[in-house]
Homo-oligomer: A and B are copies of this chain.
Amino acid sequence: MVGMHTPDAEMARLASKALLYSIDRIRVDPPPLGAPRPYEELLEAVGQTITKDGITGAEALRLFTEVLAPSSISVDHPKFLSFVPGAPTEASIIFDMVVSAASIYAGSWLEGAGAVFAENQALRWIADLADFPASAGGVFVSGGTAGNMSALLAGRHWWRSRNEGRHDHTRGLIMASKGAHSSVAQAARAMDADVLLVPADERGRLVGSALRATVDSMSQADRDRLFAIVATCGTTNLGVIDELSVVADVAQELNVWFHVDGAYGAAGLCAPSVRHKYIGIERADSFIVDPHKWLFGPYDSCALIYRNVHDGPRAHTQHAEYLDVLHSEVDETQPWLEMNPADMAHHLSRRARGLPLWFSLATHGTDAYADAVERTLKVTKQGAEEIRSRPYLELLLEPDLSILVFRRLGWTPEDYQRWSDKQLYSGESFIVPSSWNGETVLRFCIVNPRTRRQHLIEILDSLAPEES
């Protein structure tokens, strides 16, 4: 047989080159920052790569390493502090590569038992971080958007089941704070549900007083269709943690699903110095945390944990002739150990995307994770000091976790943008302007243990007024 499924010497050489490039890329510190180029420029440099006969792997690899990769920003650069950066460990990347090679379908126990078994040990560690009971279980999905929606779908299904048909066609309602991630509103939009926004406090947090005031002012109709409250531990813009205990109280009083979005921030659960800020998460019905953010894994992966593992499949199991073989009887009074990950969320085909975290955790141990998160928290505190020590800057709030939001005195939005562009296109740093109460500000999100105080000093110094 000839064709692209037959190994040959040329492919072997290509594989060696590609893997050497990969190893270099993992190890280089810092990696090149990279910067986007306009479409027309890329087309000029790259041309049409999809042809009848192929352009050879060597040429495709050259185009990637010389043009395309440098036109993409390295999220693991120590001065990439925009959005939420990434900082995968070498162990996690190496194992992501093993997963690429392994051709395992990790959606069912029947097909992927070994992979699922290991993923479940990593999920159990995460569940334990939140003090979840033995009944807990979950799945790694592609990202926070998928995780939040899958959790809310499970919540809606639970609510409707409890109401025995009365609410099967009722438009659902979710309460969340103004600091909630955009994916909560997006999930509601997809689900044809509504979001009732609770005003945040002056630090951007969902607190008990505002939540109770909103509940008190709800109409009975809205009360009847409320099925979930979403709290956030580590909001994306400000990195603050909602009052989880009070939210848990209210959710319990109202008998609605309590979901905690910890896509970025729940990683802090493993850091002793901030663990107390999360009290109340142990009462959630579900929560998420993204290993590709602050748990040092590669894209893309979100751990979704249900307090009761059976709440997932009740909402998400897909049925078909060709799938029936996967679904044996499950004793719902017991934790489900041979679960099908596909049944736990809104997905079916899936990569074993939890294995990179599993492997890195198994390799380094959980203490190393605590240390790495603590390190970023310490650098964040140092950054706050550095900001406070500069008269041209103003720290806008004390960090709960690892996000710093601050003002450059006297700057217009255009000044911020000009500075940000200059930093990016000179290869210095990637820090886009954000906003705070409608004002353009700067924001550092520090999840990379390779980000050091000195990096922050260099960035902050570049904001100084020019000497006249």
Contacts and interface: CB of A to CB of B under 8 A. Distances in A.
Nearest to A112: B72
A371 B6 CA distance: 13
Interface stretch (A116-124, A213-221, A271-279, A393-401): A116-124
Contacts of A346: 145-146, 149, 186, 190
Contact of A91 (B4, B29, B181): B4
A380 interface: no
Given A15-B90, A115-B68, A55 B322 contact: no
Given A114-B67, A299-B349, A433-B325, A449 B57 contact: no
Given A3-B368, A104-B73, A366-B52, A300 B349 contact: yes
A55 to B, nearest CB: 5
Q: Which of A83, A324, A436 has the most CB of B within 10 A?
A: A83
Contact of A118 (B64, B190, B192): B64
B68 A118 contact: yes
B322 A443 contact: yes
A161 B256 CA distance: 32
A166 interface: no
A114 B300 contact: no
B322 A236 contact: yes
Contacts of A182: 318-320, 323, 348
Nearest to A118: B68
Contacts of A5: 87, 89-90, 296, 372, 448-450
A38 interface: yes
Interface string A438-468: 0000010000111010000000000000000
Nearest to A91: B57
A365 B149 contact: no
Given A88-B103, A91-B57, A350-B143, A111 B186 contact: no
B48 A347 contact: no
A360 interface: yes
A-B complex: 9 closest residue pairs judged by Cβ atoms: A54-B365, A71-B114, A68-B114, A36-B113, A22-B101, A143-B349, A182-B318, A299-B351, A57-B363
